[in-house]
A and B are shown apart, each in its own frame.
Chain A
Amino acid sequence: MRIDLSLLVPYLPFMLEGALLTAQVCVLALLGSLIVGALMAVARTSANTLLRRAASIYADLFRNVPFIVQLFFFYYGLPEIGIYIDAFTTGVVALSIAGGAFTSDVIRSGILAIEPGIIEAAQVSGLSKTKVFSKIVLPVALRTSVRPMGSVFINLILTSSILSTITLNELTGTAKIVASDTFKPFEVYVVLLIAYATLTYLVSLLIAALHRRLNRDLGEAVR
């Protein structure tokens, strides 16, 4: 009943490789879910009823179905219709789509929180619809939604551990291999637990700093 962590030292480079893969997946999935989420948020706040309905169904569906089911759907389903992509790409795509559902929610409320007066002023100034959106609505909406986006991103990091079930050897996948190599599952998973918690804590600090920096001109209101 003694914890001896020195046994894990030789495996550290191997696990770092896994951590690197996790970081890659998460950054790509963050970009992906930002793009998907922004597009869906636009659809959900558009004047077109059909578009709005479709985007709402997307968000509702992907938030209420477990990620592992979505992942299996893509991983086993796509080859059936002739699309052969590796576990890495599947993982990034699935995370982007699932993350996009949550991101669209965040950005949507960011868009809805913009004062109509600002948009009206832009329209009166003669800016085109796309200009108003890309230069005014989106920057403001993204800026105010940094903090909720952060919790979505942290969730994304935690969710990425599920990719180990489709043979992707990211941080959790490598830990599984190390655990079966050393016969020390308790030590390995305790270290992994603390590693994930530290990682997400650091990310949350980073997001708080980013939020303060981006919203520094808004004064006390958003702190």
Chain B
Amino acid sequence: MRYTEFTPFDIVLLAQGLGVSVGLFLATTVIGLLIGTLWAVVRFYRVPVLTQVITFVAELLKNSPVLVQLFLVFFGFPAFFHINLGPVEAAVITLSGNTAAFVYVIAVSAIESIGRDQIEAARAFGLTKWQVLRHIIAPQAMAFAIGPLTGLLVNQLQVTSLISVIGVMDLTKIGNILNLRTLKPFIVWAVVGVLYYLAAKLIAYAGATLERRLRAHTAWKGL
């Protein structure tokens, strides 16, 4: 008996794949946001050596293919550091690092977008550097960064498709399996593509909604 036809169970498989993709995307986004913001704060405090190291690492991560980073972590780390890494762990490490590098750049430019005069005024009022960051810079920088961040996240969702290469059962891997079994690449990849497309649109929509709310205080309300 050959199972070359599509079965109703394929829908469950696709849903599982989408779940893995979205789950990993959300997890790495949260970790990446935390690390990237932390790096930006380190830069804000002008910590001597650390700032240069972070800038260098971020540039390296931004300017090299994610696939190579993935291979480095998945194949390279276990061989070099003698540790055990599953595909999912490797994927989380790589994608978080990659997201962090891009978040760092966005966060730095968001912090620098706030005028010097505001910071000087706040310092003159006796606020500490942390208070300035927390109460003056953060709220404005957040509104500034949300646009580029949405673009980044839409991109990062697509980057998650690469982890199928190291064997994580994400949406692309499921597509691969279905394609090999049914030998109907047009339908399979079209469906997979549509699912990614819809997920990307959802992220873009959520980003736009959040941006409207964060910018509500600067919106023109009329006289």
Chain A contacts to B: CB under 8 angstroms: 1, 61, 64-70, 72-73, 76-77, 80-81, 154, 158-159, 161-162, 164-165, 172, 175-176, 179, 183-190, 192-194, 196-197, 200-201
Contacts and interface: CB of A to CB of B under 8 A. Distances in A.
B63 A200 contact: yes
A197 B81 CA distance: 23
Q: Which of A66, A77, A196, A197 has the most CB of B within 10 A?
A: A66
A65 B193 contact: yes
B80 interface: yes
Contacts of A159: 65
B13 to A, nearest CB: 16
Contacts of A165: 67, 165
Q: How large is the interface on B (under 10, 10 to 19, 20 to 34, 35 or more residues)?
A: 35 or more
A80 B185 contact: yes
Contacts, number: 129
Secondary structure of the A contact surface, majority rule: helix
Contact of B64 (A1, A176, A196): A196
Contacts of B65: 158-159, 161-162, 172, 196
Interface in B74-121: 75-77, 79-81
B79 A196 contact: no
A113 B186 CA distance: 39
B172 A69 contact: yes
24 contacts: A64-B200, A65-B158, A65-B193, A66-B158, A66-B159, A66-B160, A66-B162, A67-B161, A69-B161, A69-B192, A70-B193, A72-B176, A76-B179, A76-B189, A80-B183, A158-B64, A159-B65, A161-B68, A165-B165, A183-B79, A186-B75, A188-B76, A200-B64, A201-B63
A159 B184 CA distance: 26
B59 interface: yes
Contacts of B71: 172, 175-176, 179, 185, 189
A68 B79 contact: no
A72 B178 CA distance: 12
Nearest to B161: A66
A66 B165 CA distance: 13
Contacts of A194: 60, 64
Nearest to B70: A189
A73 B190 contact: yes
9 shortest interchain CB distances as A-B pairs: A186-B76, A76-B185, A66-B161, A186-B80, A161-B65, A189-B72, A185-B75, A73-B189, A66-B158
Given A66-B172, A197-B60, 7 more contacts: A66-B159, A68-B165, A69-B172, A72-B175, A72-B189, A80-B185, A196-B64
A186 B79 contact: yes
B205 interface: no
A172 B75 CA distance: 14
A65 B196 contact: yes
Contacts of B162: 66, 68, 162
Contacts of A68: 161-162, 164-165, 172
